[in-house]
Amino acid sequence: MPHSAFKFLLLLSAFSATLSSAAVLEARAAPDNTVSVTSTTNYCMIMPRNAHTNIGDSEQTGGMRSYCSASAHSSPSQGTLPGNFWRAREVAFKSGNGKNGKKYAQLTGCINASSLDRLNPRDDGGQYDSSGGAGGRGNPQGSACAGYSHYVELVEPSANRACIRCCNDAADCPTGKDTQGCPAVISGNYFNCG
């Protein structure tokens, strides 16, 4: 083939490689900075990286990482959540279309705060999210939910309650109610802890 046509092909393939890697980077974060919500037994949530830490105190660079159920665990950089993290039969999975018709998935329910040594059972808790915090870059910064554009998560050890919702519409994952507790942020089933 003529030299110029070959150069054009090379350029074209370099361009498409750039495009596809940019798309992948936009949709994903590192495994230890990624949450997921697939079912009551397949999920990852952000937790304090260090033991016995209040959620609020964990909210600093390097203070948080993803912890996953055994079946969702996919990288050594992630922690593993114990099988009894949610109290027996007190966790609900729900998915559907939100306020403006876009997809969401969530877990709500009661946790056993003593089951995970990252938590301090007396901590009133706090929020992690993909789109709040300084400059709207999330807390942890750059964190993301697999397959969705946004997420919001609250962990409330002293109330034995937690919740996480991943959504494609920011309106379904409000980040401005972080002191109001799970039921105000994510409507759902909170069993006897709610």
Ligand X SMILES: *[C@@H]1O[C@H](CO)[C@@H](O)[C@H](O)[C@H]1NC(C)=O
**List of residues contacting ligand X (CB under 6 A):** 84, 87, 112, 114-115
> Residue 71 Cβ, how far from ligand X at the closest point, in Å?
19
> Residue 121 Cβ, how far from ligand X at the closest point, in Å?
9
> Residue 156 Cβ, how far from ligand X at the closest point, in Å?
16
**Measured from the CB atom, is 90 or 129 closer to ligand X?**
90
Cβ distance 128 to 46 under 8 Å?
Answer: yes
**Measured from the CB atom, is 67 or 104 closer to ligand X?**
67
Helix or strand run (H / E) with residue 103: strand 103-111
**Measured from the CB atom, is 97 or 114 closer to ligand X?**
114
